[in-house]
Structure 1
Amino acid sequence: MKAKNLNELINEYESKGSSKHHLTRQSRKETTPVKSKPDKTIPKYVDLDNLVFDKGPRLMSATTFKLPDGSFKKEEASWKEIRIPPPKPPSFDKSERLVSISELPPWAQSVFPKEETKTLNRIQSCVYPTAFHADSNILMCAPTGAGKTNVAMLTVLRTLSNHMDKYGNVDLNSFKIVYIAPLKALVQEQVREFQRRLSQFNITVNELSGDSNLTKHQISSTQILVTTPEKWDVITRKGCDSSYVSLVRLIIIDEIHLLHDERGPVIESIVARTLRNIEENNGDPVRLVGLSATLPNYKDVAKFLRVDEGLFYFDASYRPCPLAQQFIGITEKKSIKKMQAVNEVCYRKVKENIAQNNKVIIFVHSRKETEKTAKWIVNKLKENDESFKFSEGVKRILQEESDNAKNEGMKSLLSAGFGIHHAGMNKQDRSTVEDLFAEGHIKVLVSTATLAWGVNLPAHTVIIKGTSIYSPERGTWVELSPQDILQMLGRAGRPRYDTHGEGIIITAQEEVNYYLAILNQQLPIESQLYSKLADDINAEIVAGSISNVSDCVDWLSYTYLFVRMCKSRSLYHVGPEYDSDKVLKQRRRDLAHSALMVLAKNGLVRYNVQSGRVAFTDLGRIASYYYISYKSMKNYDKQLKPSMNEVDLFRAPMIHWRR
Structure 2
Amino acid sequence: SRQIRKVEQTGEPVRIVGLSATLPNYRDVATFLRVDMNKGLFHFDGTYRPCPLKQEFIGVTEKKAIKQLKTMNDICYNKVLEQVGQQRNQMLIFVHSRKETAKTAKYIRDKALELETIGQILKHDAASREILTEEAESVSNADLKDLLPYGFGIHHAGMSRADRTSVEELFASGDVQVLVCTATLAWGVNLPAHTVIIKGTQIYSPEKGSWVELSPQDVLQMLGRAGRPQYDTYGEGIIITTQQEIQYYLSLLNQQLPIESQLVSKLADNLNAEVVLGNVRTRDEGVEWLGYTYLFVRMLRSPALYQVGADYEDDETLEQKRVDLIHSAALLLEQANLVKYDKRAGRIVSTELGRIASHYYITHKSMLTYNQQIQPSITPIELFRVFALSEEFKYIPVRQDEKLELAKLLGRVPIPVKETIDEPHCKINVLLQAYVSRLKLDGLALMADLVYVTQSAGRILRAVFEIALKKGLASVVKDALNLCKMAEKRMWPTMSPLRQFPECPADIVRKAERIDVPWSSYFDLDPPRMGELLGLPRAGRQVCALVQKFPRLEIQAQVQPMTRTMLRVELTISPKFEWDEALHGKSESFWILVEDCDGEEILFHDQFVLRKEYAEAEMNEHLVEFTVPITEPMPPNYFITVLSDRWMHSEARLAVSFQKLILPEKFPAHTPLLDLQPLPIAALKRDEFINLYPDWERFNKIQTQTFNALYSSDDNVFVGSSTGSGKTVCAEFALLRHWTQGDGKAVYLAPFQEAIDARYKDWQSRLTGIAGGKQIVKLIGETTADLKLLGEGDLILATPQQWDMMSRMWQRRKNVQAVTLVIADDLHMIGGHNGYVYETVVSRSHAISKQLENG
Do both share a fold (TM > 0.5)? yes
1:314 is matched with: 44
Q: 1:348 aligns with which of 78, 81, 105?
A: 78
CA contact (8 A) 1:321 1:498 kept: yes
SS in 2 for 1:458: coil
Residues 226-276 of structure 1 deviation map (CA, whole Å, 9 limit, x = unaligned): xxxxxxxxxxxxxxxxxxxxxxxxxxxxxxxxxxxxxxxxxxxxx2x2222
Residues 338-380 of structure 1 deviation map (CA, whole Å, 9 limit, x = unaligned): 1121112111211110211100111222232222212211232
1:297 is matched with: 25
| Structure 1 residue 304, shift from structure 2 partner | 1.1
1:654 is matched with: 389
Q: 2:220 aligns with which of 486, 492, 497?
A: 486
**Structure 2 residue 378 is matched with structure 1 residue 644:** yes
User: Could you tell me how far apart the structure 2 residues matched to 1:488 and 1:319 are?
Assistant: 14
Map 1:397-408; keep pairs closer than 5 Å. 397-408=131-142
| Structure 1 residue 462, shift from structure 2 partner | 1.1
**Structure 2 residue 19 is matched with structure 1 residue 288:** no
Residues 103-133 of structure 1 deviation map (CA, whole Å, 9 limit, x = unaligned): xxxxxxxxxxxxxxxxxxxxxxxxxxxxxxx
| Structure 1 residue 313, shift from structure 2 partner | 0.7
CA contact (8 A) 1:599 1:605 kept: yes
**Structure 2 residue 390 is matched with structure 1 residue 633:** no
Change (3 A) 1:644 1:462: same
User: Could you tell me how far apart the structure 1 residues matched to 2:202 and 2:193 are?
Assistant: 23
**Structure 2 residue 335 is matched with structure 1 residue 335:** no
Residues 553-580 of structure 1 deviation map (CA, whole Å, 9 limit, x = unaligned): 2222111111111111111111112111
**Structure 2 residue 285 is matched with structure 1 residue 534:** no
**Structure 2 residue 114 is matched with structure 1 residue 380:** no
CA contact (8 A) 2:7 2:13 kept: yes
Change (3 A) 1:340 1:538: same
| Structure 1 residue 521, shift from structure 2 partner | 5.5
User: Which of the two has higher C-alpha Rg?
Assistant: 2
SS in 2 for 1:533: helix
2:608 is matched with: none
User: Could you tell me how far apart the structure 2 residues matched to 1:657 and 1:313 are?
Assistant: 37
1:584 is matched with: 318
| Structure 1 residue 404, shift from structure 2 partner | 4.3
**Structure 2 residue 368 is matched with structure 1 residue 368:** no
Change (3 A) 1:406 1:555: closer
User: Could you tell me how far apart the structure 2 residues matched to 1:613 and 1:428 are?
Assistant: 56
Paired amino acid for 2:126: E
User: Could you tell me how far apart the structure 2 residues matched to 1:577 and 1:289 are?
Assistant: 37
Change (3 A) 1:503 1:640: same
User: Could you tell me how far apart the structure 2 residues matched to 1:427 and 1:581 are?
Assistant: 56
Paired amino acid for 1:319: R
Q: Give the aligned length.
A: 387
Paired amino acid for 1:478: V
Map 1:223-622; keep pairs closer than 5 Å. 271=1, 273-279=2-8, 281-308=9-36, 309-353=39-83, 354-389=85-120, 390-520=124-254, 522-622=256-356
User: Could you tell me how far apart the structure 2 residues matched to 1:635 and 1:299 are?
Assistant: 42
Paired amino acid for 2:51: C
| Structure 1 residue 657, shift from structure 2 partner | 4.8
Indicate the larger mover: 370-379 or 473-482: 473-482
Paired amino acid for 1:293: A
Residues 418-450 of structure 1 deviation map (CA, whole Å, 9 limit, x = unaligned): 222334444444343333322222311222233
CA contact (8 A) 2:369 2:389 kept: no
| Structure 1 residue 486, shift from structure 2 partner | 2.5
- Identity of matched residues, %: 59
SS in 2 for 1:542: helix
SS in 2 for 1:609: coil
User: Could you tell me how far apart the structure 2 residues matched to 1:585 and 1:424 are?
Assistant: 49
SS in 1 for 2:147: helix
| Structure 1 residue 583, shift from structure 2 partner | 1.3
User: Could you tell me how far apart the structure 1 residues matched to 2:69 and 2:42 are?
Assistant: 43
User: Could you tell me how far apart the structure 2 residues matched to 1:484 and 1:339 are?
Assistant: 21
Task: For CA contacts below 8 A with separation 6 or more, give which structure has more relative contact order.
Answer: 1
Change (3 A) 1:642 1:287: farther
Paired amino acid for 2:206: P
- Per the normalisation by structure 1, the TM-score is 0.55
User: Could you tell me how far apart the structure 2 residues matched to 1:546 and 1:426 are?
Assistant: 46
SS in 1 for 2:154: strand
CA contact (8 A) 2:207 2:392 kept: no
Indicate the larger mover: 414-423 or 629-638: 414-423
| Structure 1 residue 405, shift from structure 2 partner | 4.4
User: Could you tell me how far apart the structure 2 residues matched to 1:405 and 1:537 are?
Assistant: 50
| Structure 1 residue 311, shift from structure 2 partner | 0.9
SS in 2 for 1:494: coil
| Structure 1 residue 632, shift from structure 2 partner | 1.0
Q: Any gaps of 5 or more consecutive residues in structure 1?
A: 1-270
Change (3 A) 1:411 1:594: closer
| Structure 1 residue 645, shift from structure 2 partner | 4.3
CA contact (8 A) 1:275 1:558 kept: yes
| Structure 1 residue 472, shift from structure 2 partner | 3.4
Paired amino acid for 1:375: K
CA contact (8 A) 1:388 1:417 kept: no
Change (3 A) 1:550 1:322: same
Paired amino acid for 1:286: V
SS in 2 for 1:624: helix
Paired amino acid for 1:544: G
Change (3 A) 1:609 1:454: closer
1:146 is matched with: none
CA contact (8 A) 1:295 1:521 kept: no
Q: Any gaps of 5 or more consecutive residues in structure 2?
A: 394-455, 457-855
Map 1:85-124; keep pairs closer than 5 Å. none
Larger helix proportion of the pair: 2
Change (3 A) 1:599 1:410: closer
Residues 11-43 of structure 1 deviation map (CA, whole Å, 9 limit, x = unaligned): xxxxxxxxxxxxxxxxxxxxxxxxxxxxxxxxx
SS in 2 for 1:525: coil
Change (3 A) 1:414 1:599: closer
Cα RMSD after superposing both structures: 2.3
- Per the normalisation by structure 2, the TM-score is 0.43
Paired amino acid for 2:266: K
